[in-house]
Structures are given as structure tokens and as C-alpha cells.
A = this chain, B = another copy of it.
């Protein structure tokens, strides 16, 4: 039986999360639901996309991902099921699905909506119902009409030249670590044998650490994390608070002149 993952911006102090789960279980009591997070910042699609993008492939293929973030925020009132890399995603057509994967979705269906009066809780009445159907063996054309139309948003990208990579903080995690959009692969191609300086806030650092614990407690580290992204933190401290940096803060790497530039 397929797994259903569930991510939302519902928080845990209301009945919303358990109402969605109850709907799924009342349709098929043998289904298994794994929470991804219900602490997505309200309405924050970038936050949701960051989390989902970096975890969905860890689940087995065929997993159904129910995404109730900003779940009645758009005026189009469209709800989608997408198949991406053999995973199913159900959620509102609010742009989130264009941010979790570089490639185009394999299939997109706009979910049928026969129930006129329950649009005030679509996560339960539309998404949970259809997620349970897919998990129970229904196919995408049982639950919606195929379409090519979905809202696409553009991810925040770094800019790179031979001299410099300029990026931004795209996520501040629970520890206050600052995760940027600067990719290890690009850094390695541009660096060659050159020295470099990493700049963020008022800090300048000329070294990339191999692990979080290579620096002493309270010292700043810069690593390429297991996502392949440049991450800045303070060992056993909260870098976001201590450095005064946050989502969108600039991070750049400036390379020295090429070693042979004066030849």
C-alpha cells in the first residue's frame, strides 16, 4: 500500500490536520500517513517548496504527497494532481509544484470538484479524498481531467561569473543555519586552483569546512551541505540571530584573480 505524506501550514493547535487524516482513514483505514511538516510558515510557498523538494525523493516511488499550504489562497480555485518522477502530488494550483523539481511534470490532472458547498476546507474535501483514492488504486484520470496548465513560478537563482558567485539565503532552518542557493558543483567548476572569500553580512571567510563540527563551539562554519548547497552556521549557535541574516540575505563568493593572470 502506498504511503501518503502530508505537509501543511495548518499548525497543530486546530482540528485541521486531524480532520484531513480522519478523512483519509475513513475512506481507507489501512492507509499510512507520514507527516512532513505542519509548521510551514502560513501561506509561504517558498518555504513549503524548499522542504518538499529536498525530501520527496527519499520516499519510495509511488508515494502520494498531499500539500495543503496556502490551500485556499488562489482565486483560480483549481486543485491538481501531478505525477513527477513517479511520485504523486496533490495540492492547490498555486505555483508550488513548479518549485520542487527542475523538470516538467510527467502528467497533470485538474481534480474534479463535484461538491459545491465545501470549498471552505479543500484540504479535507478535495485533497484528502483524492489522495486516498490514488493511494487505494485509482488512476489519475479517475479523479481529474488531464491538463497542461499549471501556475509556474521562478525559483531564486544565483548569478555566476568567472570572478564571483552571488546568491541568497533561500532557507533558514530550525537551528538558525542559513542555507543559500549557491551550488557546490558550480563552485567547483569556477574555483579551479584559486583562493576565494565568502561574504555574508559583515563576515568574510576564506575557507569551506568539511563538517559542522570542524570549528569550535560558537565559531562560524561554511559547508556544502548534503543538499549540495552552501550553508552558513555557528556551531551550537543560531547564525540567523547572531549574524542578523535571514531569508533573502546576500551571500557571495569572490574568487581571486586567476593564478596566471599576471603572466
The chain A residues found within 8 Å of chain B, CB to CB, are 3, 5, 9-19, 21-23, 25-26, 29, 34-43, 47, 50-52, 54-55, 58-60, 70, 72-75, 77, 118-121, 124-125, 171, 173-175, 210-214, 223-226, 235-236, 238
Contacts and interface: CB of A to CB of B under 8 A. Distances in A.
25 contacts: A9-B174, A11-B173, A12-B35, A12-B38, A13-B51, A13-B174, A15-B37, A15-B52, A15-B55, A17-B37, A18-B58, A19-B55, A23-B58, A26-B58, A26-B59, A42-B174, A42-B238, A72-B213, A73-B213, A73-B236, A74-B213, A119-B210, A119-B211, A120-B224, A121-B226
The secondary-structure label for the interface of chain A is loop
A39 to B, nearest CB: 4
B77 A22 contact: no
A34 B25 contact: yes
B39 A13 contact: yes
A177 B54 CA distance: 31
Kindly name the residue among A12, A41, A43 whose own CB sees the greatest number of chain B CB atoms within 10 A.
A12
A171 B11 CA distance: 14
A210 B77 CA distance: 12
Contact of A37 (B13, B171, B210): B13
Contact of A39 (B9, B11, B25, B43): B11
Contacts of A40: 13
Contacts of A70: 236
Nearest to A21: B34
A34 to B, nearest CB: 6
A208 to B, nearest CB: 12
Contact of A36 (B18, B34, B37, B235): B18
A204 to B, nearest CB: 23
Nearest to A179: B14
A11 B58 CA distance: 19
